[in-house]
Structure 1
Amino acid sequence: MPTTAPPAAHAFTDVTASDSTLRRFLHGLPGVDTVGLEARAAALGTRSIKTTAKAYAIDLAISMVDLTTLEGADTPGKVRALGAKAVHPDPTDRTAPTTAAVCVYPDMVAAAKEAVAGSGVLVASVATAFPAGRAALDVKLADVRDAVAAGADEIDMVIDRGAFLAGRYLKVYDEIVAVKEASGAARLKVIFETGELSTYDNIRRASWLGMLAGADFIKTSTGKVAVNATPANTLLMLEAVRDFRAQTGIQVGVKPAGGIRTTKDAVKFLVLVNETAGTDWLDNHWFRFGASSLLNDLLMQRQKLATGRYSGPDYVTVD
């Protein structure tokens, strides 16, 4: 299976030598056909999944969820409860798969690690002055190191959107490289906040910039703005990781986050993965959902397939 590698290991090292070479490369990427992109995303969203295929898709989607709490009112007790749900999403049915990870702020990593110990559920932590990313680099790196020291398996960083939109691509690149180094063995997810990037061309450029800098995952959004993951922006990022692997041999994951609430939504995204990047990405090592509210609907649909009855939201735990 292809694996991620440091930026120096791939064929694009020269394009990151200076601001001008990086800008020339990113602006030389093919322009996005907006109408074609949105039409393809809409067409793939009409695919119908039934019976055993639907049961498979539901369990796969559950296993891809990053169960998340990122609120100022988070407490160790809330995080422990979230961890327990990640390990046993449906306490009445131990055949339900675990989620991929729980995602918390750095100061809650230790509580999350304790809650999921021995289960295989990973602990992800947002860092780098999430969600705005407005802090000095040394503050961002300290945030990352604190999370890693507490045991985080994954780091979710936000890019400096102001620098990106101002065309200061090398600054964004250098920050990602620095955060990747500070993350050590933890896998790095790079969040673009696609709703603030304005254009599909910018999303394509951000995707390549993140991958060039060594991202293990590229992620649409923080979930904290009005426009988050959409089928079209996720399709565009899936095309980017597919093309990047074709040219470098390096596989990078994709994580749509925010706004994915129903099983129907999740299945649409899985179809996008299968039809765009391919089956190598149909695994929680390479694809995730940042959508905690999604899990309850997946569990209700799973119960309906098993029992023939729709149990309703009162029969699943509240996040």
Structure 2
Amino acid sequence: MQKGKQSLCFTEAPFIISTANIVGKKEGEGPLAGHFDVIGEDDKFGQNTWEEAESTLQKEAFTMAVGRAGLKKEDIRYLFAGDLLGQNMATSFGVLDFQVPLFGLYGACSTCGESLSLGAMCVAAGYADHVVTMTSSHFASAEKQFRFPLEYANQRPKSATWTVTGSAAFVLGKEKGMAKITGITTGKIVDFGIKDSMNMGAAMAPAAKEVIRQHFEDFGRSEKEYDRIITGDLGTVGQKILIDLLLKDGYDISKIHSDCGIEIFDAESQNTGAGGSGCGCSAVTLSAYFLKQIEDGTLKRILFVPTGALLSTVSFNEGMTVPGIAHAVVIEHADV
């Protein structure tokens, strides 16, 4: 099952049996509006605080995904989940009542890829019949923690991305489902010395480049063997950097690259800068949009590469750089 330096190839590929997603009002006004399962009319989702609202997102996504799989929460052996908040607050309070054994994860905005990777490994190895992988983000809770109070109404540079309010959950198991996960490449931390917290695309693009290059090397493949290579939230700035960096290594992904942060918003009409970001960005876009294209055979094989910026309020305020990380997941049509 081991491939090259950083990858695994599953001889018995685990399946994504079901998925569910829920997003906020702004996401429901974007280009993917018709694809989401639930669109909230109030971004507090009936709660008193933004953090409680984000926990509610996870509760709803988990409940919908497990129900669609024809399972009960008692059938879920493990839950792999995380978010952007300190000590994984949204996850801890969001899944508390389910009482499912939890692996709490933090990979910044790459958490969807990290959770899918670990969940797939767990099922493929026979350690669980069914697991749920899940993540979330919320514009207001993330902005409050990482940038400015919302009331500050600061101007945002064009390189800035807009944190997606949303959550998605995926049920993985061995029985045939929507799509199968056939391989993973786990990323390393990459630091290009970026110190601008308003330019996450520049911070994360080098990490995406490194894991994609390593994936090709480990599997003996090229970009030509994928219908789409889909990054998480590089936005328009990071997309250009990624394409340029891979060109220097001899790979041209310009015609097959998509970015979830670009897909989820109409940057011009919605005033979202370089695009969307946050743990929920890649998760809800995969769940609502790309996974359906794999299920119906429009896409046969994709390389899904969520990207994360590993900063904190402490590291940023102390003048440290913003390292990046990315994880690659090979998702294929169930009958390939």
Q: Is the structural similarity TM-score above 0.5?
A: no
TM-score normalised by the shorter chain: which range applies? under 0.3
Q: Which has the greater radius of gyration?
A: 1
Per residue, is there more helix in 1 or in 2? Answer: 1
